[in-house]
Amino acid sequence: MKIQENKVVGLTYELKVSKLEDEIESAPFSVEIREEDDPFYFLFGQSGLPEKFEELLAGKVDGEDFSFSIPVDGAYGEPDDELVITLPKSQFSGERGFSPEMLEEGNFLPLMDENGYSMQAKVLKDLGENLLLDFNHPLVGFDLHFEGKIIEVREATKEEIAHGHVHGEYGEHD
């Protein structure tokens, strides 16, 4: 079965990233590995991943290997300075599920937007009463290099299509 709209896709991969700084491309370094004991599953056409990622997988079949790179402009783009903001540290209290260790510089805070969707912010600096947070995607500014294998392609259920995500063992449980 070919990867196309409304198919559930399972894959294993290694993601490496590189960055262009002062006109010199850094050597790609590994940031994520998904192996057969923890594959990545998504609903094709509704993954929330960069469009180019899905474009480069379209038409591939179960068992097929893949290897491709997505430049920064086709991935998560360049950093947006407007997504770096200062918020009162009081918003991240113990009553709201935050510990002091979570607020240390370099950590990612698990948050939800006003619609209940998961998001995260990186703590850039502790400013005393405030925190300087970066809401840019962690892979913003990087070229992405994927190498992996398609391990499953199947029809999505009506519920998966309606909910916009995979259900079951490797998906969400609704």
**pLDDT number for residue 174:** 47
Same domain membership, residue 26 and residue 55: yes
The span from the CA of 149 to the CA of 14, in Å, is 10
Kindly report, residue by residue over 117-147, the tens digit of the pLDDT: 888 999 999 999 999 999 999 999 999 999 9
Amino acid at 27: A
**pLDDT number for residue 173:** 56
The span from the CA of 18 to the CA of 137, in Å, is 15
CA distances from 4 to 33, 43, 69, 114, 156 (A): 24, 9, 20, 32, 11
Same domain membership, residue 95 and residue 34: no
Q: Please state, rounded to an integer, the average pLDDT across all residues of the chain.
A: 92
Residue 172 lies in a domain: no
Nearest partner of 124 among 81, 62, 78, judged by Cα: 81
Residue 158 lies in a domain: yes
pTM of the model: 0.82
Nearest partner of 159 among 150, 147, 171, judged by Cα: 171
Cβ burial 104-119 (10 Å sphere, 16+ → b, else e) = eeeeebebeeeeeeee
Structural domain containing residue 30: 7-77+140-163
